[in-house]
A and B are shown apart, each in its own frame.
Chain A
Amino acid sequence: MLQCILDTGGLQALITALWESGHQVLGPQVRDDAVVYARLREVAQLPAGIVDEQEGGRYRLHRTVIPEGVRPLFAHVVGPHSWKRFLHPPQEPLWRVEMDGQGLAIQPAEAKEARYAFFGVRACELAAMAIQDRVLKGGEHVDSAYLRRRQGLFTVAVNCTRAADTCFCVSMESGPAVKGDFDLQLTELTAGGEHRFLLEAGSEAGEKLLERLPGRAAEQAALDEKAALLAATARQMKRAMPAGAAELLADSLDSSHWESVAARCLHCGNCTSVCPTCFCTRTEERSALDGRSSERWRLQDSCFNEGFSYIHGGALRRSAAARYRQWITHKLLHWREQFGSAGCTGCGRCITWCPVGIDITEEVHRLAEAKA
């Protein structure tokens, strides 16, 4: 694999080269006390020296203690945004119709040539993109707008050198080491007080770009440091999805435990909003007041909304218990049969951003206890 070592100047050269090759570069930045993904032009915009404290229903940013004077750029983990915000946006127009009295003229929404470069994609997020790929472009019918954005995408992945307390990617086999489909991967190294980045190519496009950057050869010590950091991150992980969660859920559809979750769940849908794999959408008609034209839009939807399961006569899943059961059984059980893998990557966002701190790993533990 083609690899090199960059300093922060080299990192800037990478960002600049991505813009110059026609990509819109998006990366992590602090906004409103959270790390979110936004347009990235300068290394200086990255969340230098920031760590995110995460727990059920809790998210706080702190300045890190700076060992040996290095302010790490990637010591944070994942925030409320995920890349689905760009690949599978919360709302987008599908088509427009003109009604002139003679008939209908239906025009697809303008296909925007979005060429994104995602800078700072974590292992769990690569896994999430692979999951959404199977849903949105892996079947007989393909979401063409998603496919177009996916085809234009360049990914710079980042290995996690720290785990948040809500992370459980090790148990979902999705991290912390970057694997799968990426163009470049970065590992932030700080040993000896020297701030540098190990850059490794994962695709032909990645190799071509890497060759143009002002890097120096990667020494064995850098590769060893990367391996040690990833092993430490894996050891840091406090949460785990219990083994056999799918079988347990299949056996728990009529469990009385769902009522106990329902007593806490506000069915606000936050977990589905922040989840990097939740893909459900609804369509909406936006018609002009004069009745001569109308637009069809696709909007993010959530299985926690009562209207989600509406058929004439009313909603099928009226109780909060049934809606939470739908969400968790979809993630960990039914997704497998529908799309060939689980729908969870262990990123922990649903735990952090649940206003009452409901924890997907904890609920599986409790179901197991209820069964025992």
Chain B
Amino acid sequence: MSNVPADPMLPRPVRVLERRREMEGVVTLVLEGSPQEQDGFQPGQFNMLYAPGVGEVPISISGDPAEPAQLTHTIRSVGQVSHALTRLQPGDQLGVRGPFGTGWPLSDAAGSDLVVAAGGLGLAPLRPVLLAAAGNRSRFGRVVLYYGTRSPDTVLYSGELEAWRAAGIDVHVTVDRAAPGWKGEVGVVTQLMRAEHFDAGSAVALLCGPEIMMHFSAQTLSGLGIPQARIHLSMERNMNCGVGLCGHCQFGPRLVCRDGPVFSLEQVAPLMKIKEL
């Protein structure tokens, strides 16, 4: 039959090049590229990763956009599929679809201050932004990272934070519960946010983390003067297809996989107020 385009549900086999244990239950996989990966990805986009014989889950891309031939994902073992993915070793194969979805609006932010707020594993989809900023520091004005996590041993990419600081990123980290030896901040991520860190008149804010964390971070940043249209969030919903065909990721009028996962606060603020939407 005529003109049937490639099946978006069909994964391509890809080999694991490198596996890094980030913390208990969290692993970063670096995957070998295939010709399709040469097209690159937008920071903020996700892939559907298939654990052979187990199933498929959406995982954000956490690698460097300057190296599009490698796909990097940071995965927390929370269910059957993610558990199987975190057990893969270098040389093993998995299935990959995508990249899918919208990216962070980095071109809108060029020349402006960049405010990055992350909670827990929410730092993973923002890592490509931080790597891009660190690699091309003159592209943005001031770049500030607010990162909150549960405890000192759950600080993601802890080995990279210093490198980002050295590259001129203003890095602030807080934990909910300190531990012996922790000299940093203790408390919620919004306590780190200060008007003097950025120019609210032009800054672009990028948020990723638990919905409750994004809700309060957005509220605080709005209060500090960043308009809703320049605050962006990465939303999470159940996804089965990743390409707008299965209906699972509906968030009111939006399909998170197709219209998101990155939305402006302007788009989603009214929806976030409705329970069980």
Contact = CB atoms under 8 A, between A and B. Distances in A.
Interface of A: 94-95, 97, 99, 103-106, 108, 111, 113, 135-136, 139-145, 147-148, 151-152, 253-254, 279-283, 285, 287, 291, 294, 296, 298, 301, 303, 308-312, 316-319, 321-322, 326, 329-330, 333-334, 336-338
B56 A141 contact: no
Interface string B231-248: 000001110110111111
Given A283-B240, A317-B277, 9 more contacts: A106-B11, A106-B12, A142-B5, A144-B4, A279-B247, A283-B9, A285-B55, A326-B250, A333-B253
B237 A301 contact: no
A283 B237 contact: no
B45 to A, nearest CB: 14
A125 to B, nearest CB: 20
A152 B275 CA distance: 44
B1 interface: yes
A326 B252 CA distance: 8
Contacts of A312: 78-79
- Binding site of B, secondary structure by majority: helix, strand, loop or mixed? loop
A258 to B, nearest CB: 10
26 contacts: A95-B11, A97-B52, A99-B52, A103-B15, A103-B93, A104-B94, A106-B11, A113-B1, A135-B245, A140-B244, A141-B243, A141-B244, A142-B5, A281-B240, A296-B50, A301-B247, A310-B238, A311-B236, A311-B237, A312-B79, A316-B276, A319-B276, A321-B276, A322-B277, A326-B277, A337-B253
A305 B260 CA distance: 24
Given A103-B13, A151-B1, A283 B55 contact: yes
A258 B139 CA distance: 50
B273 to A, nearest CB: 9
B56 to A, nearest CB: 7
A183 B107 CA distance: 48
Contact of B248 (A136, A308, A338): A308
B135 interface: no
B12 A280 contact: no
Contact of B9 (A94, A285, A333, A338): A94
B53 A294 contact: yes
Interface string B70-109: 0000000011000000000000011100000000000000
Interface of B: 1-2, 4-13, 15, 50, 52-56, 78-79, 93-95, 236-238, 240-241, 243-248, 250, 252-255, 258, 274-277
A22 to B, nearest CB: 12
Given A95-B10, A103-B15, A104-B13, A254 B274 contact: yes
A165 to B, nearest CB: 30
By secondary structure, the A interface counts as: mixed
A108 B79 contact: no
B250 to A, nearest CB: 7
Nearest to A308: B248
Contact of B255 (A99, A111, A322, A338): A338
A343 to B, nearest CB: 10
Nearest to A316: B276
Contacts of B254: 337-338
B32 to A, nearest CB: 11
B13 A281 contact: no
B5 A144 contact: yes
Contacts of A99: 52-53
Contacts of B274: 253-254
B248 A280 contact: yes
A347 B93 CA distance: 48
B252 to A, nearest CB: 6
Contacts of A334: 250, 252-253
Nearest to B82: A312
Contacts of A311: 236-238
